[in-house]
Amino acid sequence: MAYAEDYLVEDEPLRAARHRGQEVGAAPIGTAGGSALRFLAAVINARTVVEIGSGCGVSGIWLLRGMRPDGVLTSVDVEPEHQRLAKQAYAEAGFASSRTRLIAGRALDVLPRLTDGAYDMVFCDAAKQEYPDYLTEALRLLRSGGIVAFDNALWQDRVADPTQRDPETVAIREVGRLVRDDETLVPVLLPVGDGLLCALKRD
């Protein structure tokens, strides 16, 4: 697992963004998970992506590096300081301000205002108890062939332990079940970092 996590080395913009995120108590996606996001965005030639939880710019840099050169990342975060740091990270990574749209607010207040079927990818890494609700919103926002992804899908191995019944673990376990049982989705649970649950939406 350590070899997979260290297979790709983060450059200075990513390292700096990760350091600042950790300083303010954020938990950005790991290197292996970030590289998986970049890969997925590139595979579907993503132009429009929504991320829920900015990770102070770490996940956004990975996503932007996989997206089309004209792609726009919409980043939703309830923490203004995290968004300020994300904006700094994007600039340090060389992305024009026109490539990102930062929206401050609680995800479940913001997402209903976004356009149905207008997005290629939705990445979720915010309030774990809201993961099932994020899935509902993501399926509305995604086009056919789009991808939804959830970080922390293993939740320090708590999800696999049926004796763990805290609200966050229960919600992550529930979103895993919902994704697995939805016949309109093609799911995969990638054992990178703390787990990355992904699904492709099809007709």
Number of independent structural domains in the chain: 1
**pLDDT at 1 exceeding the cut of 80:** no
pLDDT of res. 4: 84
**pLDDT at 172 exceeding the cut of 80:** yes
Report d(CA 188, CA 179) in Å as an integer: 9
Q: What is the mean pLDDT of residues 106-112?
A: 98
Q: Kindly report the average pLDDT of the chain as a whole number.
A: 97
Is pTM, for the whole model, over 0.95? yes
First to last CA, the chain: 35
State pLDDT tens for residues 64-100: 999 999 999 999 999 999 999 999 999 999 999 999 9
Contact 166, 160 (CB under 8 A): no
Domain range for residue 46? 2-201
Contact 173, 165 (CB under 8 A): no
pLDDT of res. 2: 85
pLDDT of res. 203: 78
**pLDDT at 107 exceeding the cut of 80:** yes
pLDDT of res. 72: 98
pLDDT of res. 18: 97
SS (H, E, C) the chain: CHHHHCCCCCCHHHHHHHHHHHHCCCCCCCHHHHHHHHHHHHHCCCCEEEEECCHHHHHHHHHHHHCCCCCEEEEEECCHHHHHHHHHHHHHCCCCHHHEEEEECCHHHHHHHCCCCCEEEEEECCCHHHHHHHHHHHHHHEEEEEEEEEECCCCCCCCCCCCCCCHHHHHHHHHHHHHHHCCCEEEEEECCCCCEEEEEECC
CATH number of the domain that residue 33 is part of: 3.40.50.150
Report d(CA 176, CA 160) in Å as an integer: 11
